Structure 1
């Protein structure tokens, strides 16, 4: 889990730094759609391989293919620039230009003259709190990551604990993430990031509130409302990822995403105890929290 989290975060930051500003948000959303594809495949894989140890092995082995990325994927030119490794920047951009059938920019040659002239930037945890704006952004993002994780995973666990077909219920809730990505792609340029983030949080919270009053005998209705909540919190998750990557300067962007998203992991650890312990008191209690 620790290694996969690092590879996901590094890949997300890398892909957002490689593309131009005009395509960054679209590419970032499409990158996260691959996560949804994995969830859909997981439901079928869990049905075919019911033993959890074998399932864990089947889902872990393909990650070894990521080792090939070291030789196939170049380093981020933006990060290299922040580290004053300008010679490597020139080589990578020249290679990209050749692959795209473009002529290299002549101004790039002047970068090599500035290499090692200024001090290289070395990011640290303290940099995330070095200014009032960075402190505010870091604390808000940590809170958003934590609450989004608790709600996202809490909905999944609550639906699974209320009966029904576990594999189908998981599949249904995973499929709604595709329209969530479509909604983001069609609204983000018009409404920005903050308004969709707020509205989606309200939709997810409203879905939890409605589920409290639905009888457990109406399992199909519970699943339907939970799917709307899952769609809302998925939009929140993807927008938080975008905001997280855009708010930090290049030299601490990867560190900022890693540190803030670690609160997502903390939420994932706490959620099972919240859901299952509180359901022993009353099944609707986790939905209130």
Structure 2
């Protein structure tokens, strides 16, 4: 009996129509990238200090340089750089008072430096940055610095909700129509984010942007997959095998993912692996935005190295399987945590496809194919949905990990990433190798998958997973 793969090969493989559709959907998927990693640029936090009325006039009268002005008027500036006090507090003195000394202004105002009162930045901040960002526009610093974390987390909340809601709408009303509508909403919400009058509206528009971005991308992904099988009747041997002996169709359940010991182990490992992929990929990019240097060049380098990363994954997966490349790739944060200047090279080995469309590498060997290979056909969609949700949850947590820990120690997020990655790399080795094996079609197949060698065709007579 010919398999579905044999039928698809007979009617034609990747031809002109499929190529055109795939190219158009790739262009649409490219819009996912700025939504996901754009916070590196428009969430940039420059060096800043409190604005104090009268300081500029006093500096001009005394002929101070900028460094002298900061040393005389900003708490704890000195040789240790800008500490929290220098960024978020100011001297509670009247710089407009008459008789202020140019050599010792604080001493002439209060006499004893140790008794100078400090207060909050009631009149705003001065930013050492010629451009603008949402941080400088809405003053998301000091006590309000957590709002930047919330801003980036909101788009991941949108990803989480949209991947479920938009998927249902696409199946209900059609994928093409849904894709066009989500692209339109994404464009409009992106413009509204730029012109939002307040922080609250910025977060709302950002949430909407995330809601339609990932849902629309997933719709396009499914649509591109469907163009290769538009002649398929929908009921294949793989579907029919999920029916019991009496012909009653078995209903998928979330309990199928934890019903048996091996499947339960695979489910939890894959959930953690997707979570790790999201935290590391997004976290390394966001931390790169905190580094000193040219952020545009650093981001360009980190993007360029993803091209060789794609070829490395293609070459290694076809030859040695998925587990070992993925496990080795998780060790990349180790040298990065020891040498922060090497973090722009992280995507070279890191499994960027694990997150999906942000780089258009979703078809490469990564988290989703391994998830498909370790879960039976009956629960495969639920398995990918659960793991994808863990990816979004990781994205929600990442901004708080990066920005809050960096306040304690600039490199602390990298140390945390290294620990998460080492655990993830070790757990991946506990998964069964999928190279040369058939996709499990029943719960029994998935449970016994670890018993078959790499050259075995498994319990079913189907084409093997590459």
Taking structure 2 as the reference length, the TM-score comes to 0.40
Aligned equivalent of 1:174: 303
Change (3 A) 1:127 1:115: closer
Deviation at 1:202, TM superposition (A): 1.3
Residue number among 224, 227, 232 corresponding to 2:349 in the alignment: 232
Structure 1 residues 178 and 84 mapped into 2: Cα distance closer, same or farther (>3 Å)? same
Separation of aligned partners in 1, 2:32 and 2:299:
8
CA contact (8 A) 2:302 2:346 kept: no
Question: Which of 80, 83, 107 is the aligned partner of 2:235?
Answer: 80
Q: CA deviation at 1:283?
A: 0.1
Supply the distance in 2 between the matched residues of 1:204 and 1:192 (Cα, whole angstroms).
22
- 8 Å contact from structure 2 (residues 309, 348) kept in 1: yes
Q: Report if aligned partners of 2:402, 2:413 keep a CA contact under 8 Å in 1.
A: yes
Deviation at 1:172, TM superposition (A): 3.0
Q: Pick 1 or 2: higher relative contact order, CA cutoff 8 A, min separation 6.
A: 1
Q: What is the rounded CA distance, in whole Å, between the counterparts of 2:323 and 2:265 in structure 1?
A: 16
Are the structure 2 counterparts of residues 76 and 136 from structure 1 closer, same or farther at C-alpha, using a change threshold of 3 Å?
farther
Give how far 1:185 is off. Answer: 0.8
Deviation at 1:233, TM superposition (A): 2.2
Cα deviation, residue 208, structure 1: 2.8
TM-score, normalisation: structure 1: 0.61
Q: In the alignment, which residue of structure 2 is the partner of 1:138?
A: 267
CA gap of 1:61–1:121, structure 2 versus 1, over 3 A, is closer
Q: Quick check: 1:195 aligned with 2:324?
A: yes
What CA deviation, in whole Å up to 9, does each residue of 1:199-239 have, x standing for no partner?
1111233223321xxxxxxxxxx2xx223222322357252
Structure with the largest fraction of helix? 1
| Pair 1:122–1:75, CA change in 2 (3 A) | farther
Q: Which runs of 5+ in 1 are unaligned?
A: 1-15, 24-29, 86-113, 212-221
| Structure 2 unmatched ranges of 5 or more | 14-21, 43-132, 135-189, 195-205, 355-364, 417-466
CA RMSD of aligned residues (A): 4.6
What secondary structure sits across from 1:202 in the alignment?
Answer: coil
| Larger Rg over CA atoms | 2
Deviations 1:53-85 (A, max 9, x none): 356689988976958949x74679597335549
Question: Residue deviations 1:116-160, cap 9 Å, x none?
Answer: 951212111111111111101001101111122111111011001
Number of aligned residue pairs: 224
